[in-house]
Chain A
Amino acid sequence: MTTLESVGTTLVVGSGVFIVTYYLLINVGYLLIHVLALFQLRDNVRESAWNPSFRAFDSPFYPGVAMVVPAYNEAANIVESVRSMLALNYPDQEIVVVNDGSSDATLERLEDAFGLRPVDAEVPYDVPSEPIRGVYRSATHENLLVVDKENGGKSDALNAGVWLTDKELFCAVDADTVIDRDALLDVVAPFLEEPSRTVASGGTIRVANNCVVQDGQVKEVNLPKTGLAGVQVMEYLRAFYSGRLGLARLKGLILISGAFGVFRTDRVREIGGYRHDTITEDFDVVVRLHEHLSDNDVDYRIEFVPEPVAWTEVPETLRSLGRQRRRWYRGMLETVIASRGLFFRRRYGRVGTVVLPFFTAAEALGPLIEGFGYVLLPIGWYLGILNVEFFLTFLLLTVGAGVFLSWFGVFSEVWSYNRYESPWDAVRLLWYGVLENFGYRQWKTVVAWHGLIEFLRGEQSWGVMERRGFGDAATEAAAAGGGAGPAAAAGVATDDREDAGDGGFVWVDRLVDEPGTDGLRWLDRIASDGQPGAFASVADLAVGVGDGGFVWTTDFSAGDGDGGFVWVTDPTLGAGDGGFVLAADDDGSVRFAATMDFSRGVGDGGFVWTTDPTLGAGDGGFVWTRDAAVGAGDEGFVWVVDAVDPTDAADPTDAADPTDAADPTDAADPTD
């Protein structure tokens, strides 16, 4: 054996030993947390069974709660969602909807449904958010407040709501979340039990896919039909029943889901509200609360209550699930790094000494190391140094322990609240606990590595959640959205956006006006306003919609914006998560469609927005300009609709000819 071979073998063998030892320790830690969770669950079940003889609605001592609902392009669901929140059982409640610069009809729908009228007064406080355009009150519902503000992201919207309520507590809740009627009463239980110590309390999030939702309530609980969503049910059960309960038992709960969590308003204001520069604001805010309260020697508690339930849809495609998980992973890294000052410091109690270090090792580093292990196995096999015992031990620690911990979660569910009533559902859940270890688990390690790379590249996008919406309301709203374009319902029914067949490239000045707007939001905006039409090649760019058009160039600074469109086959390469493809409609006509699935398009590719002209298949792309001369040729493309007569234009249908754009090189050729 040469020295090089020897070193290589030692490295592989050493890595193997490290990985197995690492996983052994992590799984021991997980097992302890799961056992603690059982004790905590027993206490919770006992606590919830003790129901004192007084009526909440007769008592003047319940703390007021503001439901703070950030809403970005939630036109499809927002009315139904607000109605369901107004119907929650709680004696002192306010709904604060924050319209975060939606480009769809979110605000208009609220105005119509609840008789909103603008409050004719300036907001008298300094609110740490993007500028507030207006505050609205309802003429019919005294406890409904709507804040309309410039787009700034979820954290920003939450801050606006937190600063504009006077309620003692606020409940951060996603607009597309369905909350059980009594869930608010239940989730504030820790505040009722220890009013002076409790600063935050979280409830359980369950998977709503395939559940029957009527009148804003889950009427029938079913397991999802697809395996991918089913596996996520398992994951949620494990995370909430085992993970969070166990951490709560340790007095070290560091995450309360942003979809349903209650906080003391003054405490969150004290820490400056939600941070804008993080993409997992729910995790970050809890960790910062721990830090702030420990620093100030405040006696506090942060609790998790397993019974109050909020329902949410989970992604049903690997693509959108991967996007969501990458975001979660990036956010976790951000928060872990931001809270590094807490690590191993006794001042921060178990959060600093045990929970955060373990969480980092298990959740942040664990998937990376596991992924490394999967790479090591074939290498070892190829080199002929794979030890069967190592292989089996690795499998035992990943798959075996994984199945056991998952089954522990299922058992906790069946033993306690048992929402999935059929024994077949229990069997299916157990099966998902096995299934997730073969393929899904390995895929998640790839997602973690991808998330790490994105994090290192400074990626900040949220991505988009593909949702179908709940009940009939989403469908109706999507249908009603015709006036505002098919993507009006895109906020919750992004699948619909992919059918935006009669959209097209429309006026791009919006992007120029809002340089901070990312590709995805831009996509929403133009798709929402799009009218049927086609592209025409013209010399005079003023003849199309607007007074400009697209020209081909390798220098994106030549355009009016700071970027342009390039041809790619991977829609995630652009600044947003999607782009435009030329796709055939049902009637056979070919149109531009906004989508995240480029396989739908002619030539398996499409156009994405970017500031880097070399990103695409060619060496340049199309930029928006009013001056055709800035392009490589002397013509450009303008969008024309029926009302516009492209006098000097070539036949508009030429532009819609798939062959023109099917080949990336065609699109890249300015002479075309």
Chain B
Amino acid sequence: MTVPLAAPLTVASAYGPVTGPQSQVLAFAVVVLGSLLLATGLVTVGYSILAARRRRRRDPMRAALRGELLDRLYGRDEPAWDAWVAGLSAAERDELESVLDVYLRELDGRDAEQLAGLGRALGIGERSRRHVADGGYWDRSHALVWLALLRDAPDRDLLRTRCTETPRERAAAARVLYAAGTDDCATTGVDLLLRDDPEPFSVFGVDTLYRVAERDPNPFFERAATDFAAWPPALQRQALLVVRHLTTVVGGADLSWVVAALSNPDPSVRAAAWRALGAYGWNRRLRDAVDLDAIQAEPAPAVRADAYRALGAWGDAAALGALEAAGTIDPDPRAQVAAAETLVAQRGPDAAPAAIDPPRATDRTADAPVRPGDGGVPATEWPPFGVAWDWAAEHARFDRLARDISRDRERLYDEVRG
């Protein structure tokens, strides 16, 4: 609707009464806006008053419930949760759930088991199972968190059929199994997480994958060995991240897919593969499967930097030799610093200068190739290792100084001070 907003040039129009169709529209707009304002104002103030009243009531109630809970948990032989809960009002039960949530996250072992009894007395376990079976997405998600806190695993089929809508829900379902410590935690957990075209996880999901795989790594490594290539790069990176942290439990699992990931077209996956392999220096067979000469031909500086860190973590003569050969002539300053840091970490910042003095670029770069992506800069013009080395050594000294709490502190202090 077009509303003429300026009237003809007459004094009457300027100062006369507001009439006509425009005025009706205007009046309507004023009424609508006025109503909206009134409603917003009333709802805002009303909600604020309600919230303040709720807070006033809630704070002392919460303090009393917390005291009683701790007394029953630690001060008595038998907490008698059922009897306590039976005497609570609905508001107190709501508040007690909130208090229980806090303590279940903080406590482990026998205390947590005792508190799980309170959860059962409050009917949380039963309600959560019902929500998993019949509830909507958010109800299910909250129910899974409660079940994990109560260490109470529901039926597996229910989890498989009802709790795989999103990566988050898959992770929450697997977490229940991990928290409950079920025997099938790893097999069912990995299946929940990684079956049927999985998508990248949140950090919670990655952590859950790591936790269930830590219990028994085989289901995860077997799944990855067959499906890895089909996963999206983001999930591939996450799987490799998990591999990196499973180094102490991996046993004889098949890691060939990790080595193969070094040739992945996505540089971020290659970098993740190097980071993962860095943790497996003890695995001679795995080390032998890696082509160290290929590092110099790697076009992505970030991948080279991770390769240097992995070689430094391996620490054997072949790895350090390859690291020095590639690191000293690396044209990327960050990659070069990474190489220097790993060498300093190996030899220590206090090593005699002669021992730690890195080879100069000119010593070994005469025949060095020009890397793809380096803009054709001849190897002989690449900067030397010196600056990166000094930087790495200085920071290693400071790290040691800040971590040191022994009597040597003052000596180190002076040493850093120079």
Q: Interface on A for B, CB 8 Å cutoff?
A: 1, 9, 12-14, 16-17, 20, 46, 49-55, 59-63, 117, 119-126, 137-142, 191-197, 266, 380-381, 384-390, 392-393, 396, 400-401, 403-404, 407-408, 410-411, 414-415, 418, 421-423, 425-427, 430
Contact B203 A192 (CB under 8 A): yes
Among B23, B29, B202, the residue within 8 A (CB) of A193 is: B202
Chain A residue with the shortest CB-CB distance to B50: A423
B234 in contact (CB, < 8 A)? yes
Residues of B in contact (CB 8 Å), total: 79
Q: How far is the CA of A192 from the CA of B233 in the complex (A)?
A: 17
Among A51, A381, A411, the residue within 8 A (CB) of B40 is: A411
Contact B203 A196 (CB under 8 A): no
Q: A16-B6, A389-B26 are in contact. Are A61 and B241 (CB under 8 A)?
A: yes
Among A139, A387, A427, the residue within 8 A (CB) of B45 is: A427
Contact B26 A142 (CB under 8 A): no
Q: Encode contact with A along B1-12: 1 for CB under 8 Å, 0 otherwise.
A: 001111101010
Contact B172 A55 (CB under 8 A): no
Return the 3 tightest CB-CB contacts between A and B, nearest first: A142-B402, A196-B234, A13-B6
B282 in contact (CB, < 8 A)? no
Contact A120 B394 (CB under 8 A): yes
Contact B14 A124 (CB under 8 A): no
By a CB distance below 8 angstroms, the chain A residues around B7 are 385, 387, 389-390
Known: A120-B390, A430-B45. 20 other contacts (CB 8 A): A14-B6, A52-B148, A52-B171, A60-B210, A117-B416, A119-B391, A123-B391, A124-B391, A126-B333, A193-B203, A196-B237, A384-B9, A387-B7, A393-B29, A396-B33, A404-B33, A407-B37, A418-B51, A422-B48, A423-B48
Chain B residue with the shortest CB-CB distance to A63: B203
Contact B210 A61 (CB under 8 A): yes
B413 in contact (CB, < 8 A)? yes
Contact A9 B175 (CB under 8 A): no
Among B15, B23, B49, B245, the residue within 8 A (CB) of A60 is: B245
Nearest Cβ on chain B to A435's Cβ, whole angstroms: 14
Among A55, A139, A389, A393, the residue within 8 A (CB) of B402 is: A139
B283 in contact (CB, < 8 A)? no
By a CB distance below 8 angstroms, the chain B residues around A390 are 5-7
Q: How far is the CA of A415 from the CA of B55 in the complex (A)?
A: 14
Chain A residue with the shortest CB-CB distance to B208: A54
B121 in contact (CB, < 8 A)? no
26 cross-chain CB contacts under 8 A: A12-B6, A16-B6, A17-B5, A20-B5, A50-B141, A59-B203, A60-B210, A123-B391, A124-B336, A124-B337, A191-B203, A195-B200, A196-B200, A197-B234, A387-B7, A388-B16, A389-B22, A389-B26, A392-B26, A396-B26, A400-B30, A415-B47, A418-B48, A418-B51, A423-B45, A427-B45
Q: A121-B393, A411-B40 are in contact. Are A396 and B207 (CB under 8 A)?
A: no
Contact A139 B416 (CB under 8 A): yes
Contact A426 B5 (CB under 8 A): no
Q: How far is the CA of A408 from the CA of B145 in the complex (A)?
A: 33
Q: How far is the CA of A355 from the CA of B141 in the complex (A)?
A: 33
Chain A residue with the shortest CB-CB distance to B175: A53
Contact B145 A51 (CB under 8 A): yes
Contact B44 A411 (CB under 8 A): yes
Q: How far is the CA of A197 from the CA of B232 in the complex (A)?
A: 13
Most buried by B among A13, A191, A414: A414
Contact B145 A52 (CB under 8 A): yes
Contact A387 B14 (CB under 8 A): yes
Q: How far is the CA of A230 from the CA of B387 in the complex (A)?
A: 53
Q: How far is the CA of A531 from the CA of B26 in the complex (A)?
A: 66
Contact A421 B5 (CB under 8 A): no
B401 in contact (CB, < 8 A)? yes
By a CB distance below 8 angstroms, the chain B residues around A16 are 5-6
Q: How far is the CA of A385 from the CA of B302 in the complex (A)?
A: 70
By a CB distance below 8 angstroms, the chain B residues around A120 are 390, 394, 418
Among B3, B11, B48, B390, the residue within 8 A (CB) of A414 is: B48
Contact A385 B33 (CB under 8 A): no
Q: A54-B208, A59-B203, A418-B48 are in contact. Are A404 and B37 (CB under 8 A)?
A: yes
- Interface contacts (Cβ under 8 Å), in number, total 200
Among B44, B200, B334, B387, the residue within 8 A (CB) of A410 is: B44
Q: How far is the CA of A437 from the CA of B20 in the complex (A)?
A: 28
B407 in contact (CB, < 8 A)? no
B142 in contact (CB, < 8 A)? yes
B403 in contact (CB, < 8 A)? yes
Chain B residue with the shortest CB-CB distance to A56: B203
Q: Encode contact with A along B368-389: 1 for CB under 8 Å, 0 otherwise.
A: 0000000000000000000110
Q: A60-B245, A120-B418, A407-B40 are in contact. Are A9 and B9 (CB under 8 A)?
A: yes
Contact A426 B44 (CB under 8 A): yes
Most buried by B among A9, A121, A192: A121
B398 in contact (CB, < 8 A)? yes
Contact B413 A389 (CB under 8 A): no
Q: How far is the CA of A281 from the CA of B139 in the complex (A)?
A: 42
Chain B residue with the shortest CB-CB distance to A6: B9
Interface residues of B in 157-204 (CB under 8 A from A): 168, 171-172, 175, 179, 200, 202-204
Q: A117-B398, A396-B26, A404-B33 are in contact. Are A54 and B41 (CB under 8 A)?
A: no
Q: How far is the CA of A364 from the CA of B189 in the complex (A)?
A: 53
Contact B179 A137 (CB under 8 A): no
Q: How far is the CA of A191 from the CA of B200 in the complex (A)?
A: 12
Chain A residue with the shortest CB-CB distance to B336: A124
By a CB distance below 8 angstroms, the chain A residues around B175 are 52-54
Contact A53 B148 (CB under 8 A): yes
Most buried by A among B51, B138, B207, B401: B207
Nearest Cβ on chain A to B21's Cβ, whole angstroms: 10
Chain B residue with the shortest CB-CB distance to A163: B334
Q: Encode contact with A along B237-257: 1 for CB under 8 Å, 0 otherwise.
A: 110010001000000000000
Contact A421 B203 (CB under 8 A): no
By a CB distance below 8 angstroms, the chain A residues around B302 are 266
Chain A residue with the shortest CB-CB distance to B148: A53
Q: How far is the CA of A49 from the CA of B13 in the complex (A)?
A: 58
Nearest Cβ on chain A to B58's Cβ, whole angstroms: 12
Contact B13 A396 (CB under 8 A): no
B399 in contact (CB, < 8 A)? yes
Nearest Cβ on chain B to A272's Cβ, whole angstroms: 16
Contact A411 B43 (CB under 8 A): yes
Q: How far is the CA of A380 from the CA of B5 in the complex (A)?
A: 12
Contact A124 B387 (CB under 8 A): yes
By a CB distance below 8 angstroms, the chain B residues around A121 are 387, 390-391, 393-394
Among B18, B26, B49, B333, the residue within 8 A (CB) of A423 is: B49
Interface residues of B in 258-272 (CB under 8 A from A): none
Chain B residue with the shortest CB-CB distance to A381: B14
Nearest Cβ on chain A to B54's Cβ, whole angstroms: 10
Contact B9 A407 (CB under 8 A): no
Q: Encode contact with A along B204-239: 1 for CB under 8 Å, 0 otherwise.
A: 101110100000000000000000000001100110
Chain B residue with the shortest CB-CB distance to A420: B48
Chain A residue with the shortest CB-CB distance to B390: A121
Chain B residue with the shortest CB-CB distance to A395: B30
Contact A414 B51 (CB under 8 A): yes
By a CB distance below 8 angstroms, the chain B residues around A192 are 202-204
Most buried by B among A54, A119, A139, A393: A54
Nearest Cβ on chain B to A55's Cβ, whole angstroms: 7
